[in-house]
Structure 1
Amino acid sequence: MNNLPILDITIILIYLAAMVLVGFYFMRKNKNPEQFTKASGTIPGWAIGLSIYATFLSSNTFLGVPGKAFGSNWNAFVFSISMPAAAWIASRYFVPFYRRSGNISAYEHFEKRFGAWARTYTVICFLLTQLARIGSVFFGIALSLQALTGYSMSVIMIVVGVCIILYTVLGGMEAVIWTEVVQAVIKTLGALLILYLLIAGIPGGIKTVFTIAQSHQKFSLGSFSPNFTESTFWVVLFYGFFMNLNNFGIDQNYVQRYHTAASAKQASKSVWLSVALYVPVSLLFFIIGTALFTYYQVHPELIETVKQQVAGERLSTTASSIEITQLASTLKPADYGDKVLPHFMVTQIPTGVTGLIISAILSAAMSTISSGMNASATVFTMDIYKRYFHPTATEKEKLRALYISTMVFGLMGLSTGIAMIGVKSLLDIWWQLSGIFAGGMLGLFLLGIISRRATGHEAFTATIIGVMVILWMTFSDSIPAKYAFLINPLHQNMIVVVGTLTIFLVGLLLTAGKRKRSRMVVNEEFKETV
């Protein structure tokens, strides 16, 4: 690490080593699949709540949210505002549903409800979502550490990835949860420390932040007009509500935690605790982004390095310094928002404190990645390996499959992160990918639990139609200009909303139509009999 003082390097290495040692500590408990996947149902509700909160608070939040607030406004905070409504539905209906089922996989009930195809479809969607999530989080780590170390983003991802894979593979779900409890505290303190250092470096402090931010409309939550072609308040609200329903209702990362609690009541409390923590802390990161904007408005000369760096990355390696400077002068805050916080850390934070904050960023990333790896391995083992390849697998064989698949998904997520190098906005790319994969899963889930009369035939037809709508909305931008009327007019965040509603409503309509036809047939038979 050629740019960091020895003290900062030491703090980071101690943190990474401690996480690996936690994995070794819990390794001795992993004697069977139940312990590896749900810690034998012995985790207290408060620890699960902190664990869910830590999973929400990934490096996408740590870096992407301040970058978004720096480059635009607080429109993305509406996502957090939608969480309590989704949490109420989850604690009231979803948690009891999964606790009664007893299935560690969130997707096993799809087969019982609609057939094997439904289980396979949702499993594939979930695993693709996890690759997108893990990859974007790996990318977030590298984005921050590259500015601090000078090493390539690929090397950073590989080094950190090895540590994460080690403690997740060794420790199982219990290691994941208890490390996330520690990480939840570390990352929250890290965010508060960053905000303190920012305010301390701004003449006039909070008053200046408020004045400058208000003059640039930084506190705006977006337009309240009924416009779904742009990222308005309503677009983000609907997107957030459906995505949070997906998280609490169909995402293995969260469903698996419901089974680690001693009771359904403890599991429900964990959902509310995670929301009670995440909403105000996510607001804290928007405040950090706004404070960063103010800081560089007060010290405009300090931001030139970032603009030059981004301009250099966009041009070819043979570009002259004059060309780079010309492009840098045209860049807007949204073009380099994700790089501002790492730049502030490397240039303005004292030695020793930098190591602590980097550890906080690492903890934000590690909790999401380790959780995603464990959940993906659980789904693969229970829904693919045991279901299709080895139905009579012994406990020892399933445990071995869990170990191997955890490692494989960690490596696949790492590869996805490397492939994301060069994206413009970390938060935007994650929102887009998750919306594409999640829409079909949630629509099918809601159809299954709300409509008791819907069968596999109606569900399959509705899912095919819904997937076609999702694909059209996602890729219609590539349609030639002469067929512009076929291009999706809605904002990309509406994909999960429209996709979910399409599958759910089409399924209901097909079911209602079937019942109507059945009644007509009965009436005709009755008339013939009379």
Structure 2
Amino acid sequence: MYEFGALNWGVLAVYLIANIGLGVFLSTKVQSTNDFFLGDKSIPWWAIGISVVATYVSALSFLGGPAWSYSEGLAVIAIHLNYPLVIVFVITFLLPFFYNSGVASIHDYLEKRFGVKARTVMSAIFLTSQGLTTAAAVYATALVINFITGFGVTEAIVIVTIIALLYTMMGGIAAVIWTDVVQAGILLVGALIIFAALLDALPEGLMTTLESLKDQGMTNALVTKFSLAEVSTVWSGVIAMTLFHITVYGANQMMVQRTLTSKNIGDAKKSYMMMGYGAIFIYFLFLLLGVLFHSYYDGKTFENGNTIILDFASTLAIPGLMGLIAAAVVAASMSSLDSALNSMSTVTTIDIYQKFFKPDASDEHYLKASRWFTVFWAAMIIGPAILYASSEGSILETLSKVGSFFVGAKLSLFGLGIFSKHTTERGVLIGVLFGFASVWYVASYTDIAWPWFCAIGAITNTLVALAASLILDGKAKEHSQYTIVGQRKWFAETGTPTTENGWSLLPGKLDRASLYLLGFFFVSIIALWAFNAFI
């Protein structure tokens, strides 16, 4: 056990107390469910954007990223090449539907497009998948606390969950976003300190080390071999994981909800574009750390690879560093946990409680209920988090595998909703069952890698849903108002402006700023090729 010391405890304690204090301060501004779920529409776009980045990066990348690339090399970054493509698709086709509706839950769209059963099924899928993936983030943080203090993993899971619960329950989405901003800063500072220390500690210097790693195949980020059994290839990253991440950012209440707090559609889109530009740099940093650690430790085997970065940090004689690292990883975890708790509370309150149990209660009642549902989901997350302790592989990869079982259904429902004319509610529900069955079969009886599970589930879901809709309900006479074609017709007939401050309100219309992001995608591919080629 690492001797944590009074200074490190002080650094960590100040951070945790500050988070709770911020929640108390922001709680004075929460007077309604709209404040709790969407804030007061005064949060700047850059803060929302940082919150989006911090939520998905989380402790899983801080610990799991280096653990993954330590054994697999820089090829792992292929999984994250697709963010510019993902963000362009989401802000062009999906985000306008949600923002224009003015709702807090994106599942409200599914009810308008298909019906209440489709909305309820997707809400249940979201709550299940989000609970499991959030538990993984909490477990990653418990590893840090256990490593540096000797606290048991179970006790650490409970402590982290309670602290995040307190400020989220009090301050709502505003507390989530502003604490995420602070947490992202701490995480970045911690990572940069580790990176600088590692560069200084490499016995042969950076360039000689990279040359040696290149000879081992560890620096090649672009594996072009096409194989469905391989996880880290360009094809799995650009094709399979593009579909996966479209679901994460475009059909995920936790991500979309924070953009709905924006002042206008332009701010909502800009907040997402921050992830489109920033993701490649963030993941390159974490994954390069893992590759360099492979050289520093001469590829030795760790009992748990997720502690590699902590093992290195504990050897550095920098006062307060371990306290900062602990705060950084706890911060990263809380940025995911607080977002999950708020979004799960939102979905439970709006899509289930208000819809089926208390449809005519007062706003004060729903605000109180949303806070109690926040407590409920915090308690429910603890169990799965403890179960993750039996996982020995990269927690980042474990999370991705768990999430891949659910994303196909989400992608298919929202995709069919906006693009399909003839799909009906009965059709999509049958499609969901067949989609889950196909993913289960592929995961159980084939060697197809998990990045392709989303594509397989979504394709199966889509084909079955279309066929079942036509067989059971026949062809639709016209497009629903909630399809791309239907929206274009509605905007034209009502004379509603299609742009706001130069940004498109009309789903399916590409903004000029998106073209720059697409260009950035190709530049990043070339840069990764050049990194390996010119070592």
Category of TM-score, reference length = shorter chain: 0.7 to 0.9
Q: Could you say which residue in structure 2 is the equivalent of 1:51?
A: 51
Q: Could you say which residue in structure 2 is the equivalent of 1:282?
A: 283
Deviation at 1:26, TM superposition (A): 0.6
Over 3 Å counting, the alpha-carbon distance change for 1:398 and 1:517 in structure 2 is closer
Counterparts of 1:95-244 in structure 2, within 5 Å, are 95-221=95-221, 223-233=223-233, 234-244=235-245
Deviation at 1:405, TM superposition (A): 0.7
SS in 2 for 1:220: coil
Correspondence 1:435 to 2:436: no
Greater mean deviation of Cα atoms: 208-217 or 281-290: 208-217
Task: Indicate if the aligned counterparts of 1:197 and 1:349 stay in contact, CA closer than 8 A.
Answer: no
Q: Could you say which residue in structure 1 is the equivalent of 2:93?
A: 93
Greater mean deviation of Cα atoms: 344-353 or 140-149: 344-353
TM-score (norm 2): 0.85
Q: Distance in 1 between matches of 2:351 and 2:472?
A: 31
SS in 1 for 2:40: helix
Question: What are the ranges of 5 or more consecutive residues in structure 1 without an aligned counterpart?
Answer: 311-335, 477-486, 520-530
Correspondence 1:497 to 2:467: no
Over 3 Å counting, the alpha-carbon distance change for 1:171 and 1:227 in structure 2 is same
Counterparts of 1:357-372 in structure 2, within 5 Å, are 357-372=325-340
Over 3 Å counting, the alpha-carbon distance change for 1:216 and 1:2 in structure 2 is closer
Counterparts of 1:307-326 in structure 2, within 5 Å, are 307=302, 310=303
Deviation at 1:401, TM superposition (A): 1.0
Letter in 1 for 2:112: K
Counterparts of 1:391-406 in structure 2, within 5 Å, are 391-406=359-374
Deviation at 1:273, TM superposition (A): 1.1
Q: Distance in 1 between matches of 2:124 and 2:259?
A: 22
Deviation at 1:150, TM superposition (A): 1.6
Q: Distance in 1 between matches of 2:146 and 2:71?
A: 21
Q: Deviations over 1:284-321 (max 9, x none)?
A: 00111112112112xx8xx6xx74xx2xxxxxxxxxxx
Greater mean deviation of Cα atoms: 104-113 or 391-400: 104-113
SS in 2 for 1:421: helix
Deviation at 1:112, TM superposition (A): 2.0
Q: CA RMSD in A?
A: 2.0
Letter in 2 for 1:467: F
Task: Indicate if the aligned counterparts of 2:411 and 2:458 stay in contact, CA closer than 8 A.
Answer: yes
SS in 2 for 1:493: helix
Deviation at 1:94, TM superposition (A): 1.5
Q: Deviations over 1:182-205 (max 9, x none)?
A: 111111121111100111111233
Task: Indicate if the aligned counterparts of 2:94 and 2:250 stay in contact, CA closer than 8 A.
Answer: yes
Q: Could you say which residue in structure 2 is the equivalent of 1:382?
A: 350
Q: Distance in 2 between matches of 1:235 and 1:67?
A: 20
Task: Indicate if the aligned counterparts of 1:56 and 1:278 stay in contact, CA closer than 8 A.
Answer: no
Task: Indicate if the aligned counterparts of 1:48 and 1:177 stay in contact, CA closer than 8 A.
Answer: yes
Q: Could you say which residue in structure 2 is the equivalent of 1:18?
A: 18
Letter in 1 for 2:451: N
Task: Indicate if the aligned counterparts of 1:224 and 1:232 stay in contact, CA closer than 8 A.
Answer: no
Letter in 1 for 2:446: N
Q: Could you say which residue in structure 1 is the equivalent of 2:442?
A: 473
Deviation at 1:222, TM superposition (A): 6.1
Task: Indicate if the aligned counterparts of 1:473 and 1:492 stay in contact, CA closer than 8 A.
Answer: no
Deviation at 1:492, TM superposition (A): 2.4
Deviation at 1:168, TM superposition (A): 0.9
Aligned length: 475
Correspondence 1:413 to 2:381: yes
Q: Deviations over 1:469-522 (max 9, x none)?
A: 123223x3xxxxxxxxxx234222221110012112333445567898899xxx
Letter in 2 for 1:505: L
Letter in 1 for 2:348: F
**Higher share in helix:** 1
Counterparts of 1:334-349 in structure 2, within 5 Å, are 336-349=304-317
Q: Distance in 1 between matches of 2:208 and 2:385?
A: 38
Over 3 Å counting, the alpha-carbon distance change for 1:273 and 1:375 in structure 2 is same
Q: Deviations over 1:314-351 (max 9, x none)?
A: xxxxxxxxxxxxxxxxxxxxxx4222112112233523
Q: Distance in 1 between matches of 2:2 and 2:45?
A: 43
Q: Distance in 2 between matches of 1:518 and 1:422?
A: 50
